Amino acid sequence: MDTIVTAEHIEKNYKGIRALKGVSFSVNRGEMFGIIGPDGAGKTTLFRILTTLVLPDSGHVKIDGYDTVHDYAAIRQFVGYMPGRFSLYQDLSVEENLHFYATLFGMSVKDNYATIKDIYSQIEPFRKRRAGALSGGMKQKLALSCSLIHKPRILFLDEPTTGVDPVSRKEFWDILSGLKKEGMTIIASTPIMDEALKFDRVAFIHDGEIKGIGKPADIIEQFKSILAPDKIDRPPVAVSPEKAITVKNLTKKFGNFTAVNSISFEVSKGEIFGFLGANGAGKTTAMRMLCGLSKPTSGSATVAGYDVIENPEMVKKRIGYMSQKFSLYNDLSVADNIRLFAGIYGVNDRLIASKTDEMLERIGLSDQKNTMVCDLPLGWKQRLAFSISIVHEPEIVFLDEPTGGVDPATRKQFWELIYDASERGITIFVTTHYMDEAEYCDRISMMVDGEIKALDTVPELKKKYNAADMDEVFRKLARGALRTE
Amino acid sequence: MKRFLEFIRKEFYHILRDKRTMLILLGIPIAQIILFGFAISTEVKDVRVAVFVPEMDNTVRRLVNDVDASEYFIVSSVETTYRDLDKVFDEGSADVALLFPSGFEASLLRGEQTIQIVVDAVEPNAALARSNYLSSVLSTSLMQLSPGAVQTGMPDVKIRMLYNPQMKSAFNFVPGVMGLILMLICAMMTSISIVREKETGTMEVLLVSPVNTFMMIIAKAIPYFILSVVNLITILVLSVTLLQVPVNGSLFLLFGISFLFIFVALSLGMLISCIATTQVAAMLLSGMVLMMPTMLLSGMIFSLDSIPAILQYISYILPARWYIEAVRRIMIEGGGFMSVADDFAVLAVMAVVLTGASAMLLKKRLE
CATH number of the domain that residue A160 is part of? 3.40.50.300
Contact assignment for B366 to A101 by CB distance below 8 Å = no
| Residue A198 pLDDT | 92
B102 in contact with A at a CB cutoff of 8 Å? no
Contact assignment for B10 to A100 by CB distance below 8 Å = yes
**CA dist B69 → B48, B65, B129, B319 (Å):** 12, 6, 18, 45
Give Cα A481 distance to the centre of its chain.
21
Assigned domain for A293 exists: yes
| Residue A213 pLDDT | 94
When CB atoms are compared, the residue of A48, A86, A90 closest to B366 is A48
| Residue A480 pLDDT | 64
> Within this chain, do residues A209 and A252 fall inside the same structural domain, yes or no?
no
Assigned domain for B366 exists: no
B278 in contact with A at a CB cutoff of 8 Å? no
Is the model's pLDDT at B98 over the cut of 90?
no
Contact assignment for B200 to A90 by CB distance below 8 Å = yes
Is the model's pLDDT at B99 over the cut of 90?
no
Q: Could you give phi then psi for residue B283, rounded to 5 degrees?
A: -65, -45
Q: How far is B202 from chain A (nearest CA, A)?
A: 5
Confidence of residue B61 (pLDDT cuts 50, 70, 90): confident
**B216-235: pLDDT as tens digits:** 888 888 999 999 999 999 98
What is the C-alpha to C-alpha distance for residues A217 and B305, in angstroms, rounded to an integer? 79
Name every residue whose Cβ is closer than 8 Å to that of residue B293 and which is 6 or more positions away in sequence.
Answer: B314, B315, B318
> Within this chain, do residues B86 and B31 fall inside the same structural domain, yes or no?
no
When CB atoms are compared, the residue of B13, B204, B211 closest to A53 is B204
DSSP class of residue A271 equals -
Domain boundary residue, one of A200, A227, A254: A227
Is the model's pLDDT at B56 over the cut of 90?
no
Helix, coil or strand: residue A296: coil
Cα four-point dihedral sign B8, B11, B17, B20: negative
Domain boundary residue, one of B114, B145, B176: B145
When CB atoms are compared, the residue of B14, B206, B367 closest to A54 is B367
> Within this chain, do residues A302 and A179 fall inside the same structural domain, yes or no?
no
Helix, coil or strand: residue B249: coil
CB distance A142 to A97 below 8 Å:
yes
Contact assignment for A106 to B10 by CB distance below 8 Å = no
A53 in contact with B at a CB cutoff of 8 Å? yes
When CB atoms are compared, the residue of B7, B204, B367 closest to A83 is B204
A417-431, B74-88, B246-260: segment of lowest average pLDDT: B74-88
> Within this chain, do residues B353 and B235 fall inside the same structural domain, yes or no?
yes
Confidence of residue B199 (pLDDT cuts 50, 70, 90): confident
Q: What is the mean pLDDT of residues B161-188?
A: 77
What is the C-alpha to C-alpha distance for residues A131 and B172, in angstroms, rounded to an integer? 47
**A87-102: pLDDT as tens digits:** 889 899 999 999 999 8
| Residue B154 pLDDT | 45
Contact assignment for A146 to B205 by CB distance below 8 Å = yes
B152 in contact with A at a CB cutoff of 8 Å? no
Assigned domain for A62 exists: yes
Alpha helices in A182-255 (DSSP H): 193-196, 216-222, 224-227
Burial zone of A310 (CB within 10 Å; 0-12 exposed, 13-18 middle, 19+ buried): exposed
Confidence of residue B40 (pLDDT cuts 50, 70, 90): low
Show residues of chain B in contact with A91, CB under 8 Å.
13-14, 17-18
Name every residue whose Cβ is closer than 8 Å to that of residue A36 and which is 6 or more positions away in sequence.
Answer: A189, A190, A191, A193, A196, A202, A203, A204, A205, A219, A227, A407
Q: Indicate the number of domains in chain A.
A: 2
Amino acid at A158: D
> Within this chain, do residues B190 and B329 fall inside the same structural domain, yes or no?
yes
Show residues of chain A in contact with B19, CB under 8 Å.
none
Assigned domain for A174 exists: yes
When CB atoms are compared, the residue of A72, A87, A103 closest to B204 is A87
Assigned domain for A232 exists: no
> Within this chain, do residues B350 and B250 fall inside the same structural domain, yes or no?
yes
Structural element, H or E, at residue B203: helix B202-207
Amino acid at A227: L
Domain holding B195, by residue range, is: 2-40+168-361
**A216-264: pLDDT as tens digits:** 999 998 988 888 877 777 776 677 888 999 999 999 998 888 889 999 9
Contact assignment for A81 to B365 by CB distance below 8 Å = no
B210 in contact with A at a CB cutoff of 8 Å? yes
Domain boundary residue, one of A167, A196, A227: A227
> Within this chain, do residues B331 and B203 fall inside the same structural domain, yes or no?
yes
**B153-166: pLDDT as tens digits:** 444 556 666 666 66
Confidence of residue B151 (pLDDT cuts 50, 70, 90): low
Confidence of residue A201 (pLDDT cuts 50, 70, 90): very high
> Within this chain, do residues A256 and A215 fall inside the same structural domain, yes or no?
no
Contact assignment for A79 to B206 by CB distance below 8 Å = no
**B164 vs B262 pLDDT, higher one:** B262
Contact assignment for B18 to A99 by CB distance below 8 Å = no
Assigned domain for B161 exists: no
Assigned domain for B158 exists: no
Contact assignment for A88 to B17 by CB distance below 8 Å = no
Assigned domain for A47 exists: yes
Show residues of chain B in contact with A158, CB under 8 Å.
none
> Within this chain, do residues B69 and B190 fall inside the same structural domain, yes or no?
no
Show residues of chain B in contact with A89, CB under 8 Å.
10, 14, 200, 202
Q: How far is B361 from chain A (nearest CA, A)?
A: 16
| Residue A428 pLDDT | 94
Structural element, H or E, at residue B346: helix B341-361
| Residue B367 pLDDT | 63
Give Cα B68 distance to the centre of its chain.
30
Confidence of residue B124 (pLDDT cuts 50, 70, 90): confident
| Residue A153 pLDDT | 92
| Residue A32 pLDDT | 95
Confidence of residue A376 (pLDDT cuts 50, 70, 90): confident
Nearest CA in chain A to B209: A76
B17 in contact with A at a CB cutoff of 8 Å? yes
Is the model's pLDDT at A363 over the cut of 80?
yes
> Within this chain, do residues A286 and A351 fall inside the same structural domain, yes or no?
yes
Is the model's pLDDT at B62 over the cut of 80?
yes
Contacts made by residues A213-218, CB under 8 angstroms, sequence distance 24+: A213/A25, A216/A34
**Summary mean pLDDT of chain A:** 87
Helix, coil or strand: residue B77: strand
Q: How far is B356 from chain A (nearest CA, A)?
A: 22
Which of A103, A130, A330 best tests the B interface by mutation, with the highest count of B CBs <10 A? A103
> Within this chain, do residues B287 and B306 fall inside the same structural domain, yes or no?
yes
Q: What is the mean pLDDT of residues A78-95?
A: 87
Q: What is the mean pLDDT of residues A409-423?
A: 89
Domain boundary residue, one of B96, B111, B145: B145
Q: Could you tell me how many residues make up chain A?
A: 485
Domain boundary residue, one of B145, B176, B199: B145
Is the model's pLDDT at B350 over the cut of 70?
yes
One-character DSSP codes across A194-217: HHHTTSSEEEEEETTEEEEEE-HH
| Residue A30 pLDDT | 92
> Within this chain, do residues B35 and B66 fall inside the same structural domain, yes or no?
no
Q: How far is B219 from chain A (nearest CA, A)?
A: 12
B22 in contact with A at a CB cutoff of 8 Å? no
Percent of chain A with pLDDT over 70: 97
CB distance B296 to B307 below 8 Å:
no
Is the model's pLDDT at B208 over the cut of 80?
yes
> Within this chain, do residues B121 and B206 fall inside the same structural domain, yes or no?
no
A81 in contact with B at a CB cutoff of 8 Å? yes
Assigned domain for A115 exists: yes
Q: Indicate the number of domains in chain B.
A: 2
Assigned domain for A58 exists: yes
Number of A to B CB contacts under 8 A, please give it: 77
Q: How far is A74 from chain B (nearest CA, A)?
A: 8
Confidence of residue A485 (pLDDT cuts 50, 70, 90): very low
A374 in contact with B at a CB cutoff of 8 Å? no
Confidence of residue A300 (pLDDT cuts 50, 70, 90): very high
Is the model's pLDDT at A15 over the cut of 80?
no
> Within this chain, do residues B73 and B89 fall inside the same structural domain, yes or no?
yes
Is the model's pLDDT at A76 over the cut of 50?
yes
Assigned domain for A345 exists: yes
> Within this chain, do residues A348 and A428 fall inside the same structural domain, yes or no?
yes
B205 in contact with A at a CB cutoff of 8 Å? yes
Contact assignment for A106 to B210 by CB distance below 8 Å = yes
Up-side HSE of residue A253: CA atoms within 13 Å toward CB? 8
**A84 vs A21 pLDDT, higher one:** A21
Show residues of chain A in contact with B200, CB under 8 Å.
85, 87, 89-90
> Within this chain, do residues B194 and B79 fall inside the same structural domain, yes or no?
no
Which of A49, A92, A100 best tests the B interface by mutation, with the highest count of B CBs <10 A? A100
The CATH number of whichever domain residue B52 belongs to comes to 3.40.1710.10
Structural element, H or E, at residue B182: helix B170-183
Assigned domain for B163 exists: no
What is the C-alpha to C-alpha distance for residues A50 and A8, in angstroms, rounded to an integer? 11
> Within this chain, do residues A288 and A153 fall inside the same structural domain, yes or no?
no
CB distance A79 to A153 below 8 Å:
yes
B62 in contact with A at a CB cutoff of 8 Å? no
Show residues of chain A in contact with B10, CB under 8 Å.
89, 92, 96, 100
| Residue B32 pLDDT | 82
Domain holding A197, by residue range, is: 3-227
> Within this chain, do residues B247 and B285 fall inside the same structural domain, yes or no?
yes
Percent of chain B with pLDDT over 90: 12
Nearest CA in chain A to B363: A53
> Within this chain, do residues A74 and A216 fall inside the same structural domain, yes or no?
yes
Give Cα A442 distance to the centre of its chain.
21
β-strand partners of A203: A35, A213
Name the residue among B233, B250, B260 with its Cα closest to residue B323: B260
| Residue B153 pLDDT | 45
> Within this chain, do residues A221 and A306 fall inside the same structural domain, yes or no?
no
